[in-house]
Every structure is written in C-alpha cells, then in structure tokens.
Structure 1
C-alpha cells in the first residue's frame, strides 16, 4: 500500500464500491485511468514532481525515486483506494486544485501587450493548421457573437496531436479566462457537447475541469499575473514549462479572451503571435 493526497475534484470517485478502470497512458511521472464516469472520466496518479493536474492523486515520492511507467494488466478505483496492477494507493488526505473565480480586476492592457511579445519569443510554434482556427476564435470573441464563438470553439476541439491536442489546450485557456474576466463561458462550454467523441479522454476530462474553473497551478498564477497580481514573466515561463506545448497553448487561449477584456483590438493585430 502507498499513500498520497487526492484532488477534491475527483475524490468522489473513491466513494462507493470498487470498479474497474482502464490505463490509457503511463509515463514515469503519471498513470492516467479511464474511469467510465460521465462527469469525471479520467483519474491521474502522479508523482510529486509531476504537473499537478486537477484530477490527480499525488504520490509522496518523485519519478526519480519510483517511476510510474508501468504496464499493468488491471486497474481499478473505489472503496477508498486506487489500484494499478499489484499496487494499491490509499490517499491519506486531500488537496484542492486551484479554481478560477471572477477576478477582482480585468487583465492589465500593458501586461497583455507584454505577454504577447514574450509568448512570441518563448513558446513552441503553433502548428500551421491551428493558426487560422485560433484567428477565427479571436475574431468571434472580439465580435461577441455567441453563435460564432460556439462555431469557432468547436472547430478547435481535438485539433493537433497528443493526449491534450493544442486546440483543446487553447480552449482550456479561453474557458479559464472567460470565467475569470466575464467572457463567453456558455457558448464555449456548449461547443464541447460532444468533445468526448472528438478528442482523447484525458483532454476531454481536462476540458470538463476547465469549464468548472479547475486548472493546473501555473495557469492560475498566469491569470492572476495578467490582472496585476504577481510578476508576469516568471508566471509565463512557469506556464510554458507545462508539457511540450500545453503551457503555450493555454496562454494563447487566455490571450484570445484577454485581448478583448483588456480593451485591445485583435482584429487590428495581423501580426498577433502564432508561435
């Protein structure tokens, strides 16, 4: 048996009887389980040095001490524990993932301008196929047209490679920024109605968490920094360290909303950074 701390967002999964789960991905840092639960479709078991996802059971050891790149034949959850192969994890405590609430102030226009330049210089390039889709989302947000926002957001779902495609990461950023600064949360959320059929399980689960405002700590700190609470460049650099491309794509989604909320006019910015 190994101990850990369970996110309050997914702690209900451990209530009730034991149920089977399916391992969908495993690295030295994390094992991702498909739960079969409609509202909480994925559960991550991560080492303490991994990205702290909002759906994570965090273990008290590092990936260097005990890597998790296992290939178990069975997994399950419930009855107060998570089972992966022969190993049983029973959380001894819980932790609360950062949750974006209404921000006390809108994004600072000077900080938004600063971060667009930094993002262009520091982030991994955006795949060319996503550039026009991101432009479409920015234009729809600027026009404040709910149907166009819904259409542009739906066009991004599942776009790009990986467990969390770039299009989904952009949408997570836009959802979080909309919750923080009063953006079009409803049409963005409606665009995800069939996301579970169009994108990998882990990404669909993280989109559900973003709708509720739950996110990784680095995204939460970045949003606060854009509103003037904290140093901006360190917050951006920490966000960019999330995944191979996820941090940069989250920042792009935040900026798609933040440009309008800060009083900028993205339609006049043809050179808006696509990197």
Structure 2
C-alpha cells in the first residue's frame, strides 16, 4: 500500500464506490477531497501513488457503482475484502535532481516523447514565460482534454507539476488550474492530479527525472510503456515544465 493513502485505509470506515476498472486496477472513491480515489492494483500494474497492492489471484472485476468501504486496515468491495499489509513510499519529485538539468538530457526526453498537438502551445508559452496568470488559463484549458481514464491534457499537467516540484519552481498556478479537476475530468485522473500537486509520482517518471542531471543517456523505455499514451504525455509535461529553467535548450519547442 502506498503511504500516501495509508491513513485513509487505516482510519475510520468511509463509504465509497467503484468508479472504473481495467485489467490491472480497480478504482474506488474515498470521499476525501485531497485523495478522492484509491487504486487497487495488480502486482504487474504501474505503482500509482494512490495504489493498494492486490494479491495475484484477484476476483472478477466489479462493475462501476459497486459499493465499497474503506477503513480499519482494509478495503471491501461488494463481497470481496482486501487487507492492507505492508507499505511503500511513492516517489516524490522534490529532491530528485541532484544537480542542474542538462540541456542534452532534456532534448533526449523531448525527442523520445515526440511532438504533441497544437493544444499544448498555450501552456508551453506560459511556462516558458513563467507567467502565473497565463499558466492558470492555459492549464485549465487542458484539464480533461482527450479520451480515456487519464486524458492526455491531465497527464501533461501532471508532468509539468512534477517538473516544477523537482526544480524548485512555484507550483501554485498549475495547482490552481487543476483545483476543480473532479468536475471536469474522470475521477481516476483527478486523483492523480491531486497527487502530482503534492509532488507524488510513479517510479518510471521519477527515474527519468532523476537522470536529467546525469551525463549518462536516458532510458525512457519504461516510462513510454506506461498506458496507451500516458508515459509520452507525462514526458511532454516534464519537458514543458523545465522550459523556464533550461535556458540553453529549445527542447520545449519540440513538444
């Protein structure tokens, strides 16, 4: 179980419901504004910062709307109960970089992520200018943009938030842009945005960001393998979030 949600799981009983499920994860509401969902994840799934690890033999996927109860050290979904045993600390972007971001590593990441759509131009320019008002407006325009449980716009915003945390830049404008995300995007994605606001991320992204200050070439393959598009979109967001600190590199212009 992720330490980011441990107090919810070990705290008083709270009612929730299943909101979505995939082959490797089941998402349950919590009623907590800062952590609106937990993810019950298969051992082969990406370890999201709100994850609770399932036994390998998981039951059939419950339907959305199935009642759930969280608390007292367990999560109950319909007739099925998972007891929380053990924990891990989700990676935090703060402190990942042990030196200045290298322009060549940033360029590698931009190349690996590939170009995004024209909808990213507003946020890219706002982040490069480090203009809080423009960042809020451009960020809001991306919330919920794209298909899936984690739309591309949300993944880009997560990446940008985490890059700002890692480089010590203010995150208030981006946090303001996603403040009402629960009303504008799937709850699964809104929950991950909440964790990104705190600097919590997946291990694949943490590994890439830590290497941005390294002389060694990046290994972006594990990150790009995340989801159908999420890994590439997270990478694009990171590159855009670095735009105001990597002045010698035009890598953000390639996203």
Show the counterpart of 2:43. 48
Show the counterpart of 1:70. 62
SS at 1:155's partner residue? helix
Show the counterpart of 1:252. 236
Using the alignment, how far apart are the partners of 1:40 and 1:229 within structure 2?
Answer: 37
Using the alignment, how far apart are the partners of 1:113 and 1:181 within structure 2?
Answer: 17
Show the counterpart of 1:29. 24
1:185-212 CA deviation, whole Å, 9 max, x = no partner? 1111111121111111111110110011
Deviation, structure 1 residue 106:
2.5
Using the alignment, how far apart are the partners of 1:229 and 1:54 within structure 2?
Answer: 28
1:96 aligns with 2:82: no
Show the counterpart of 1:163. 149
Could you tell me which runs of 5 or more consecutive residues in structure 2 were left unpaired when the two chains were aligned. none
Using the alignment, how far apart are the partners of 2:3 and 2:170 within structure 1?
Answer: 26
Show the counterpart of 1:142. 128
Using the alignment, how far apart are the partners of 2:134 and 2:46 within structure 1?
Answer: 33
Deviation, structure 1 residue 239:
0.5
Count of residue pairs the alignment pairs up: 253
Deviation, structure 1 residue 17:
3.2
SS at 1:88's partner residue? strand
1:211 aligns with 2:203: no
- The normalised TM-score by structure 2 is 0.92
1:9 aligns with 2:10: no
1:119 aligns with 2:105: no
Using the alignment, how far apart are the partners of 1:12 and 1:161 within structure 2?
Answer: 32
Show the counterpart of 2:172. 186
1:26, 1:68 within 8 Å by CA — same for their partners in 2? no
Using the alignment, how far apart are the partners of 2:252 and 2:182 within structure 1?
Answer: 35
| RMSD of aligned alpha carbons | 2.0
Using the alignment, how far apart are the partners of 2:106 and 2:11 within structure 1?
Answer: 46
Could you tell me which runs of 5 or more consecutive residues in structure 1 were left unpaired when the two chains were aligned. 1-5
Deviation, structure 1 residue 8:
0.7
